[in-house]
Chains A and B, each alone.
Chain A
């Protein structure tokens, strides 16, 4: 039954569209007359905000995801209880906005299902029988086991695993490194952000993350490639909408008509995992039509002639056959991007999770470089430090503390040098190979794992293998907020605090181009602890305290020490500021072997990788594996994110679960009807790796041969069970989760 609200919304908007505004923007960029209007956002005058007498306010920063938006936490003065969590209207970073995850965070901190005390397993593994123990007993046990297994099997016999960065990740990496444990890893990394950062290391050199910061306030064109910031990077979506109001064009590359694509001036509906072909054809058009910034290319890039020859055959007509995008539309989009006075590309997980992850990222960086959009006002920029100590250096994580002979034992060391060696932001093990090593015991046994902030069973691809590997381990310690399916497998469970219970110093391009933000603790919940303190306590028990700080508070003071502020002083200021500097390369050059942007990458070549990004077919597709395609006739991408959820989190918060109550499989109605699947029906998704269930969600926003799922749901709905291993991206070892083959059928049981 259609609700009255839906009926009204349908009637309200009608069915005729006036596209003049959008057409004018595109036309004016193409004919060189494009102008930006002034920033139209005016902060409304409201008078001084009045806080009720019984309330106090703690300014902090939401860490529900990496956007890290500034918030105000309203507390009851008498009880100390959190009453509301809101955006901060005075924040220059967010201008008051906050996404559903931040707004529902009270249901996170006070969630009745939270872990509140350290637990020891008393039944069989996975049986669910626990005994509450003291922190001392828990930490002593974990430290003893780490020592015991290190002595028995060598440091390579330990798996030091983590999940998503929440202000402690690099401290944990430092812990792994000073423990000299080479097999450190995470569900993300090769699958998230690392491909983009490694691309930046190869192309721009020395950690210059040009691809990752965007001067939206001054841009004429935004190219959103494989990213839907509305659902996963709210603060950037807010920036993009303001840029649109100033008249910037928005080009979106996405197989799905996402929230962002729906607002695009040009939407390129690329077939999943074929973005390389699209990017190369963009480069082809720009070079063939002379839309390059020749002066910039001459002075600041290396390998242009090689590139020029290399992309000659990558025409839009060629790309059209592979990507499914109309050749003329590719031309138009490439021209708009190249002709815009300044354009910036914002990239997302979709590029990171393709079969050619680092290389496809390289192609987009090359695009930005040959059009001179690097370091330019309105283009892709690098953020400057606000003076605080960066955790994102090999020095901070003590990468060199592991002796070379042990480093070489790291799983995947030779096969995936971009991930496991010095070009990686954090040199780590190749996780699929590590899980397989745990199962096979080859080339050596790994029997002990610590898993911090990671619901590994759900968040890794090919989950059935991960479950098998976990069941082979002799000792598992899990640190988390909830009793996840992964924590259920543990021997010791450590209760972690949420972002509302901790301080933090946040300096990241993902939150702001110009600010370091200070997160402040609002409450204490039972015995839950900050991961930083847990790691420090473990380090003390292992005799590694010299590499750490007395506690997390001292750590934050340390991070801020070069600025002259203590944590307390910085918190009183709320944030540290440094404006963007353009063209900083003019002083320092680029830290590549040639001192220029390497369109042709000498570093990649030295690691046995393609020096120029080259099109290669998907590991599984109609063309590359036609026999498989007969059995599995649809392409699946697990790329859907919902604004309510962060990967595998947030399903336990009622306000968020009700926004997206079920794990959906987005499917074209024509495809669904052909398969006898009604809208909303439970379906089974099968691949060469395994199967999972979902509920059909009709959308014309997908091609008929493509379906899309959301990862992160637990149990039988965990779509990661269907993501196959076996073939990995060159150099880095990424598993392709955005474009493999599947079969969809009506489920045997209807479910709930």
Chain B
């Protein structure tokens, strides 16, 4: 499923909050304990009518249309790849942490994989997809909240839904009226 115009749609209504994606991602990429590429954030709050709600939001690299990490990287190790995703060239990366600071979403971290300390983030399991596997988070998701797809499918899935995207990750929901409205 290597393709240009790759998107990942995340249906927040379907995320159970089980965190299987966090472990699946770490196993796939050999990321040690500590920070990871993906975190499921639990948001518990009361609405204007005092009803209690709890949502689970998987947060991972948005693969932004205007990536601040790419701007910030002093050695040009961050680039847009042939699929339209924001990628890190591990050979060029000097693990200076500038991109970690620059990312508004906290989705890049410095970690050691195969003995090399580098800036690391989600690549939507590029290697896996090349072998015709789904990204590990998507395959293992208990609620089937994730779906990698092309632009047309993405548009179908966002139609009639509240939706928000700053890049290739597209959040959708049928209940979150303000989805993305406060993101600025």
Interface residues in chain A, defined as those with a beta carbon under 8 Å from any beta carbon in chain B: 3-22, 41, 44, 46-52, 84-87, 89, 95-100, 103-104, 106, 230-231, 234, 237-238, 241-242, 245, 257, 259-263, 643-644, 654-659, 699-701
Contacts and interface: CB of A to CB of B under 8 A. Distances in A.
A12 B175 contact: no
Contact of A47 (B47, B53, B132): B132
Contacts of A700: 44, 46, 52
A52 B132 CA distance: 12
Contacts of B147: 44
Contacts of B103: 4
Nearest to B1: A46
* 4 shortest interchain CB distances as A-B pairs: A14-B178, A4-B106, A9-B41, A262-B54
A15 B19 CA distance: 23
Nearest to B12: A13
Contact of B179 (A3, A6, A12): A12
Given A262-B54, A263-B16, A97 B178 contact: no
Contacts of A11: 182-184
A259 B177 contact: no
Contact of A97 (B20, B44, B45, B59): B20
A13 B144 contact: no
Interface stretch (B21-29, B69-77, B111-119): B21-29
B132 A46 contact: yes
Given A8-B106, A52-B131, A655-B23, A13 B139 contact: no
B142 A99 contact: yes
A14 B54 contact: no
Contacts of B59: 5, 8-9
Contact of A5 (B47, B107, B179): B107
Nearest to B101: A4
B134 A96 contact: yes
Nearest to A236: B142
Contacts of B47: 15-17
Nearest to B183: A11
Given A5-B106, A6-B41, A86-B140, A701 B54 contact: yes
A17 B23 contact: no
9 contacts: A6-B41, A16-B178, A86-B136, A97-B142, A97-B144, A100-B18, A238-B143, A655-B33, A700-B52
Nearest to B53: A17
B17 A259 contact: yes
Nearest to B181: A14
Contacts of A46: 1, 132-134
A131 B23 CA distance: 37
B54 to A, nearest CB: 4
Contacts of B23: 100, 103-104, 655-656, 659
Contact of A21 (B28, B44, B134, B174): B174
B51 interface: yes
A3 B107 CA distance: 10
A15 B20 contact: no
B16 A230 contact: yes
B136 A50 contact: no
B106 A49 contact: no
B48 interface: yes
B57 A9 contact: yes
B143 A241 contact: yes
A652 to B, nearest CB: 12
A89 B27 CA distance: 17
A644 B57 contact: no
Contacts of A22: 175
Contacts of B136: 86
A84 B171 contact: no
Nearest to A239: B142
A658 B136 CA distance: 19
A86 B136 CA distance: 9
A257 B105 contact: no
Contacts of B107: 4-5
A384 B80 CA distance: 54
Contact of A230 (B18, B43, B46, B140): B18
B96 interface: no
A701 B133 contact: no
Nearest to B147: A44
Given A48-B132, A100-B23, A234-B20, 8 more contacts: A5-B105, A5-B106, A5-B107, A13-B43, A13-B173, A52-B131, A237-B16, A263-B16
Contacts of B130: 50
B52 A257 contact: yes
Contact of A238 (B46, B134, B142): B142
B176 A14 contact: yes
A100 to B, nearest CB: 4
B151 to A, nearest CB: 16
A654 B26 CA distance: 11
B104 interface: yes
Contacts of B13: 263
Contact of A17 (B1, B41, B51, B183): B51
